[in-house]
Structure formats: C-alpha cells, structure tokens
Amino acid sequence: MGEGGVGITLQICSFTAPTKIISGVDARKTVGTEVKSLGGKVVFISTDKGIVNAGLLVDILESLSKESLAYVVFDEVETNPAIDIVEKGLQVYRNEECDILLAVGGGSAMDTAKAIGIMVNNPGPIGTYAGVDKYPCAPPNIVSVPTAAGTGAEILSTAVITDRVRNCKISVSGAGQSPRVAIVDPLMLQTLPAAIAAATGMVTLTHAIEGYVSLGSSELTDLLNFKGVQLAAKYLRRFVANRRDLEAATGMQMACLYAALGSSNSGLGNVYAMANSLDGHFNILHGIACAVLLPAVMEFNTMACPDKFIEIAGCFGENVSGLPAPEASLKAAVAVRKLVKDIGLPAGLREMEITEKQIVQMSRDAIGSGIYKTNPRETNLMDMIKLYRESI
C-alpha cells in the first residue's frame, strides 16, 4: 500500500470519463456557448421551483438568449423523481419540439433529464430499460449545471427514478446518457439550505468511501476516491456552516467530482444498495439514508480492508498511533458518526417506526439491486437485515 492508500497491481482495469467539465466562478455564464456548440436550438430545462425562486436560472437564461437559443423551463422536478414526472416532462419536450436537455439542480434534476432523454428516442415505459445498455437508441445531448455537491449526477450515466407503485427505484444506465458537458460553478451553491448541503455532502462522502474500499477499485479509482474523502473530511463541516464560503463550496464540488469519477468506475457497496432501497420505500432524502447507514456498514467492512479504513480515519484527523489494526480501522466509523452529528443529520430513523417486515423487504430489494456485489466484505440477506436493524 503506497502513500495516500494507492498501491500498484498488475490487474486489468477499465476507466470511463465521457463528460467535459468546465469549473470555476461564473462558469454558469458559458452555458449558452456550450449548448450551441452541441447543435442545440430549443432547450428543455429540467429544474425545480426552488431553483427558479432562488434566481439561479437568471444568468443561465441570459446566456442562452445571447446565443439566440429558444428554451422551455420544466420546473416540476421533485426529490426522488417518480415515473409520472418523467412522463409529464417528456410530453413537454415533445410539444415544444426541443432538441437538447439542460439539467439545472441537484441529482433529481439530472436524473429527470436523463430519463426524459431516454424516452425521447425509445418507446415504452422507463422501467423497460432498467439495467445497463437496455435501450436501443441514444438520447439527445444533455448539459448539466449542478446546484449541489452530492451524487455527481452531472457527470454520471445513470438515472435513478422512483416507481411509486412498487416502492422501489429503477436504475437506468447506458451509452450516450452521461451529460456531454458539466458546468460546475460554486456560486450556484450559495442559496443551498444547510440541511440539504449536509445531506448531499454525505452522498459525496459515501461515494468516496465506498468507492475506495470497493472490490472493483484500481490505482486510478483509489487516487480519485481517496482525494474525495480528503476533501469532504476537510470541507463538509465548513460548507454546511456557510455555503457562501467559496473555498469550501469549491472543495465540496471537487470532492463530488472526484468521488463520482472514482466510484462510477470502481463500483459501490452495501450503503448505496441499502440507501436506494430505504429512500425508495420511505421517500427520504438520499443523503439522510446514507448518513444513517454509512457508519454501521463501515464497521461491518473494516475486517475486509483494515488498512484502507485506517487511512480514511487519518483523513478525519483520528489518532490511531499505537493501536492494533482492528481497533484503528474502526476509528473511521467513529469519525463519520461525529461528522453526521456535527452537520445536524440524524443518527437513526426510529421516529419512522419501520417494521421488521419492511426491513426484510428492503433487504431483499438491496440484494436484488446487485449494487452490493462490489462491497469488500461478502454480504448475504441476513447481513443486510442486521445492518438495517443496527442503523435505523
């Protein structure tokens, strides 16, 4: 194991990073130029009313107008977007004869845009294309402008849509689905509520940690995911305290990008499988689900890769000097529990009175998703049930 947790192996690795990234203060003002360069003429904007009311579209719409681009604003995106929202947006896209998608918001706006894009050129309900590369025709081009630092959806190929009938999440991924351009501007984060900054930050940290310890990790993904852990450990508290702190905002945006690039190539683990199931059943913020589940899963995984968890503990300033490896590795989970408390997120969900029957069903859904397969420690249904019990 080398410095920063990166060792050299001779394994065959694959790495994909299809999105052009433009970052920095006022980067949002380049939207019009980038959309026009992709051949867009009528822009479908996927966003929510909070973004509109906060005035975050003003400079973006001005940039589009400067390039003589027409646009329609679809501001009905919701947290954990459901199939009906996708279908409604698709109808607007077709009625307005749009030819390019612009997602402005958090992961929900990105997921909605990607799902609409799939449906533009492919018949049938979105659930038809659950999985990887299930749709035959590529979607239109997408440009993304994130207003949070969380999932990294601005550069990822996956859309996650909620099926309210079955109380589950549908994950659709495939070629051409990643945004062609991601425009990352720290000024877009200034109006983010502290609670949302905390929740989205925990998604970033979960990506980074799970990606770093994943069975699918490589030298390149380790570099990216470990840097994501370092930046989140350094800046998340500070960013939650003041979203107008441009250094902290930029630090969290970079943590998000590093973790998204790394974990999308390494794979994730139990937390993500369980969090998707939890917020699919109860419609809670994905970041809260991650915050509740991450410490217990970290403890569960320490015996599989103690050295990596010791390095994670070091990112948070935990003193592990002189401790045996098993004890030192557990300090990582201790540090994350402290962080969750400091940024005001819940340590459990007892007030929701989740039943044993629901825990069993969520565990089955988590296993069924397959996401857990790159978890560093082998996990079965009973393990999932126990982890849910310990966490919530």
CATH number for the domain including 63?
Answer: 3.40.50.1970
Rama region for 301: left / alpha / beta (φ>0; ψ in -120 to 50; rest): alpha
The reply to whether 370 and 241 lie within a common domain is yes
Distance (Å, whole) CA 181 – CA 178: 9
Residues 126, 176 share a domain: yes
Longest dimension (CA), the chain: 66
Instruction: Answer yes or no: do 231 and 152 share one domain.
Output: no
Q: Is residue 337 part of a domain?
A: yes
| pLDDT tens, the chain, 392 aa long | 444 555 555 566 777 788 999 999 999 999 999 999 999 999 999 999 999 999 999 999 999 999 999 999 999 999 889 999 999 999 999 999 999 999 999 999 999 999 999 999 998 789 999 989 999 999 999 999 999 999 899 999 999 998 888 878 888 998 789 999 999 999 999 999 999 999 999 999 999 999 999 999 999 999 999 999 999 999 999 999 999 999 999 999 999 999 999 999 999 999 999 999 998 888 889 999 999 999 999 999 999 999 999 999 999 999 999 999 999 999 999 999 999 999 999 999 887 889 999 999 999 999 998 999 999 999 999 999 999 999 98
Q: What are phi and psi of 73, to 5 degrees?
A: -100, 115
Contact (CB, 8 A) for 98 and 125: no
How far is it, in rounded angstroms, from Cα 216 to Cα 374? 6
Answering whether pTM is above 0.75, one says yes
CATH assignment at residue 370: 1.20.1090.10
User: Residue 332: CB partners within 8 Å, gap ≥ 6?
Assistant: 209, 298, 302, 309, 310, 312, 313, 316, 318
Tell me: do 266 and 370 sit in the same domain: yes
Phi-psi region of 105 (alpha: psi -120 to 50; beta: other; left: phi over 0): left
Q: Which two tokens stand for residue 169?
A: 């999440």
What is the extent of the structural domain holding 153?
26-184
106: exposed, middle or buried (Cβ count in 10 Å: 0-12, 13-18, 19+): buried
8 Å CB contact between 264 and 156: yes
Pair 77, 48: CB distance under 8 Å: yes
Same structural domain for residues 206 and 331?
A: yes
Q: Which two tokens stand for residue 7?
A: 């060792």
In a domain, 18, yes or no: no
Note whether 320 and 209 are same-domain residues.
yes
Q: Specify whether 226 is located in the same domain as 93.
A: no
Let me know: does 344 contact 239? Beta carbons within 8 Å. Answer: no
Distance (Å, whole) CA 35 – CA 41: 8
CA pair distance 285, 275, nearest whole angstrom: 9
pLDDT at 7: 58
Same domain, yes or no: 180 and 211: no
Asked, for residue 318, whether it belongs to a domain, the answer is: yes
Instruction: Tell me: do 218 and 330 sit in the same domain.
Output: yes
- CB-based burial of residue 127 (10 Å sphere; 0-12 exposed, 13-18 middle, 19+ buried)? middle
Verify that 170 and 237 share a domain, yes or no. Answer: no
141 and 244 fall within a common domain: no
CA distance 78 to 93: 17
287 phi, psi to nearest 5 deg: -65, -35
The pLDDT value given to residue 8:
55
Residue 19 lies in a domain: no
Please indicate, yes or no, if residue 180 is contained in any of the structural domains.
yes
- Would you call 118 helix, strand, or coil by DSSP? helix
- In order of 36, 180, 328, the CA distances from 151 in angstroms are 27, 17, 29
Number of folded domains in the chain? Answer: 2
363/297 Cα distance (integer angstroms): 13
- Listed residues 133, 156, 184: the one ending a domain: 184
Q: Using the 3D structure, point to which of 130, 154, 184 is the last residue of a domain.
A: 184
d(CA 256, CA 259): 5
Torsion sign across C-alpha atoms 345, 115, 169, 135 = negative
Q: Is residue 17 part of a domain?
A: no
Does residue 203 share a domain with residue 130? no
